[in-house]
Amino acid sequence: MKALVCTEPGCFAYQSKTYPEKRQGYAIIKIKRIGVCGTDLHAFKGVQPFFSYPRTLGHELAGELVEFTDAPGFSIGETVTFIPYFNCGTCIACRTGKPNCCTQINVCGVHSDGGMVEYLSVPSYSLIHGEGLSFDELALVEPLAIGAHGIRRAAVQKGEYVLVIGAGPIGLGIMEFARIAGATVIAMDINEARLQFCKEKLNIEYVIDAASVDVGDQLMEITSNDMPTIVIDATGNRKAMENAFQYMANTARFVLVGLQRELLSFSHPEFHKREATLMSSRNATRQDFEHVIACMKDGLINPKTYITHRVAFDDAANQFESWLDPSAGVIKAMIEV
């Protein structure tokens, strides 16, 4: 079978791999859709943490179930997706219901080879029923689940002001689920086209150019001088993260969904006087995946809005680098297998 392998930063190569071995406790999926995410792009650029080469990328996936064991309730030929964070099941995180941050976590397409292949073997426990959704929709469940998890971590309440910094695919998902939770969403980014996308496609009322000199004043005006009670970073940019500490209301929660390799610094007196809460949000759980699928089925979110670029698997290697160019206007690129 054919696989698209990132052999080193900036280089892709199509290679031939053997069909996955049938194993107890595993399922084999015929891949139909591969969503390209920030992790894939960062890996291609050579700036993704916890990464080594060569690596087959891809973890936003949907396909057809062709073989399995130990997956009661599933059937051959069923349309499925899966949770791509494989966990040990025995560590402190797993024992407390948080396999998304397992101490031995193996993220498909990051720590082990992923789904830019024709057939992929995954643990049967990770399978998710398609619930009648299309391949396109199912391939977008995972990135949206990350947004849903971030909102659940923040414990968003109806009527709160939620500032989401970063209007990429993950940030957009965070905005969607903040809205579904009943919050008033404020989108912030330096990319005007993405802010326009927020207004036109997601109906976000308030958008702010992060490069503005009066960001704080704009936030004060929007929130009637309170400032946002929830701030969520989806940029992974150190400067953006550090600047965001000044945007919190007293009692605010600051959730870091974006990942930064370097140290962060902030004023502890300013943070302390607010009795603020700082937390990270990593990956997602089955609860989040199921919430996303339910919201899709209920029409609360239209994932197809995000797909701006589409390419056949055989052409993906040639197109991949172009998606790094901000002028390309990529929100979500989808590879069809």
Average pLDDT, the chain: 96
pLDDT band per the 50, 70, 90 thresholds, residue 304:
confident
- 228 neighbors 208 (Cβ within 8 angstroms): no
Q: What is the pLDDT of residue 110?
A: 93
Q: Residues for the chain: how many in total?
A: 337
The letter for the amino acid at 254 is: F
Residue range 33-65, pLDDT digits in tens:
999 998 899 899 887 776 889 999 999 999 999
pLDDT band per the 50, 70, 90 thresholds, residue 261:
confident
**Token pair for 135:** 């391949």
pLDDT band per the 50, 70, 90 thresholds, residue 285:
very high
**Token pair for 319:** 């197109």
146 versus 304: the higher-pLDDT residue is 146
How crowded is residue 111: how many other Cβ atoms within 10 Å of its Cβ? 16
* Helix, strand or coil, per DSSP, at residue 237: coil
* 62 CB-side CA count, 13 A: 22
pLDDT band per the 50, 70, 90 thresholds, residue 326:
confident
Q: What is the pLDDT of residue 300?
A: 96
Q: What is the pLDDT of residue 331?
A: 93
Which residue, among 316, 309, 302, has the nearest Cα to 332 in the 3D structure?
Answer: 309
- 195 neighbors 187 (Cβ within 8 angstroms): yes
pLDDT, mean of residues 5-26: 95
Q: What is the pLDDT of residue 51?
A: 81
Instruction: For residue 207, give every residue at least 6 positions away whose Cβ sits within 8 Å of its Cβ, in sequence order, or none.
Output: 186, 187, 188, 189, 195, 198, 199
* Helix, strand or coil, per DSSP, at residue 297: helix
pLDDT, mean of residues 176-181: 97
- Examine residue 54 and say whether the peptide bond preceding it is cis (omega within 30 degrees of 0): yes
Instruction: For residue 318, give every residue at least 6 positions away whose Cβ sits within 8 Å of its Cβ, in sequence order, or none.
Output: none
pLDDT, mean of residues 308-320: 95
* Percent of the chain with pLDDT strictly greater than 70: 99
Phi, psi of 104 (to 5 degrees): -115, 30
Domains in the chain with CATH codes: 2-139+302-336 (3.90.180.10), 147-280 (3.40.50.720)
Alpha carbon distance 271, 281 (integer Å): 19
- 147 neighbors 173 (Cβ within 8 angstroms): yes
- DSSP string for residues in 69-97: SS-TT--TT-EEEE--EE--SSSHHHHTT
